[in-house]
Every structure is written in structure tokens, then in C-alpha cells.
């Protein structure tokens, strides 16, 4: 058993008969009353996000997980196929288990989190940032750069991202897969 002092981002816990991954947490020490930990939890079975508050020092049941590297092979209507880079074993994961899937390219290496006790895949984490090429965007207007104006763009995976006006088709950009936002232009 762990306690609230062991809470960190990415920790998997068993709570209310379900498995959750901690997305965010904040330790709060109010002026009056006892301290507590406010958390945002994502269900590993349904993908739903909920907020929960644990009293400071409360016992939580941590789940032992293993992270393994898999290569993204191809997509189907309801999910994705991955191959273990060590054993060449293939697995299928539903879309709800894969966060940021709209930014995955075929052949990309991702991390699949497994329940170490039951050998069940729980989630799939794409890299926190990826470099993708712009396949379509409107041309930017000259002189319209005084503000942080953005325009929609489509990247090679088919996802849409808002980019600054100076970005053109064929440019490579770095994208934050958690927020789905433009980070920077990448020089070739």
C-alpha cells in the first residue's frame, strides 16, 4: 500500500474497483483544516477523466505496471495494431486506449503500459512531441504578423493543428501530442 505522499504524474492506482492513471495532482495545505491532495485521474478501462480529492496521508493501492516499446503498424476503424520490437509479437489496442493517436505515423515507436500481474495492456503513450510535415495550409498574408495570429493546417497523419501564419506547406513542425498544439518549426 502506498500513501498520498507517493502520488506522482503517471502513477497507476486502483480506486473504486477500476484502474486509474494520475494525470495531474496538487498538494493543498489550506490555512484551516488538514492538508489534502487534489488529483485528476484517467480511467484505464473507459478513458474517462475524473477529479478526486484524497486526504493527506490516505492509503492508495498502487498497481505495478511495466512499460514496453512497440512499433505502430497500421490502423483499423476501431483501433490500432502494434508489434513488440523485441519479440515481434503483435497486439491490437482500441482507440480509447491510445492517447494522441491522431499524431502517430506508421513505424513510430510508442510505449505500451501493461498490468504486470495480469499481463493486460492498459494504455499506449505516444511520444510527448513528434515532428510531422504540413500537407495543407492556406498561404499566410504578408504584414499580418503583428499579433500571434494562427491558421489551421493539416499534417501528414491527417490531424488538424493551428500554426503561425509563417508556416507553409512542406514545412516540418514539432507538435505537443498531449495538448495537440504547435511547438516550433523544425529546420530540415
Summarize pLDDT for 11-39 with one digit per residue, the tens. Answer: 889 998 888 989 899 999 998 889 999 99
Place of cell 478501462: 45
What is the percentage of the chain residues whose pLDDT exceeds 70? 96
Q: What is the pTM of this model?
A: 0.74
Q: Assign residue 37 the CATH number of its domain.
A: 2.30.30.30
Domain boundary among 98, 125, 152: 125
Element of type H or E holding 133: strand 129-137
Q: Say if residue 156 is in the same domain as residue 136.
A: yes
Structural domain count of the chain: 3
Rounded Cα–Cα distance for residues 43 and 38 (Å): 16
Boundaries of domain holding 144: 129-186
pLDDT score at 144: 60
Q: Say if residue 81 is in the same domain as residue 38.
A: no
Summarize pLDDT for 132-148 with one digit per residue, the tens. Answer: 999 999 887 666 666 77
pLDDT score at 92: 94
Amino acid at each position: 500500500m502506498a500513501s498520498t505522499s507517493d502520488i506522482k504524474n503517471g502513477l497507476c492506482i486502483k480506486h473504486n474497483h477500476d484502474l486509474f492513471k494520475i494525470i495531474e495532482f496538487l498538494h493543498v495545505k489550506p490555512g484551516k483544516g488538514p492538508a489534502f491532495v487534489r488529483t485528476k485521474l484517467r480511467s484505464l478501462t473507459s478513458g474517462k477523466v475524473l477529479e478526486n480529492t484524497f486526504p493527506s496521508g490516505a492509503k492508495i493501492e498502487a498497481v505495478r505496471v511495466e512499460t514496453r516499446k512497440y512499433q505502430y503498424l497500421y490502423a483499423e476503424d476501431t483501433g490500432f495494431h502494434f508489434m513488440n520490437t523485441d519479440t515481434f509479437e503483435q497486439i491490437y489496442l482500441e482507440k480509447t486506449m491510445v492517447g494522441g493517436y491522431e499524431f502517430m505515423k506508421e513505424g513510430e515507436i510508442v510505449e505500451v503500459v501493461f498490468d504486470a500481474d495480469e499481463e493486460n495492456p492498459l494504455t499506449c503513450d505516444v511520444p510527448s512531441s513528434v515532428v510531422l510535415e504540413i500537407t495543407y495550409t492556406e498561404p499566410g498574408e504578408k504584414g499580418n504578423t503583428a499579433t500571434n495570429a494562427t491558421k489551421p493546417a493539416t499534417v501528414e497523419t491527417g490531424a488538424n493543428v493551428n500554426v503561425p501564419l509563417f508556416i507553409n506547406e512542406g514545412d516540418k513542425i514539432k507538435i505537443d501530442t498531449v495538448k495537440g498544439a504547435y511547438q516550433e518549426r523544425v529546420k530540415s
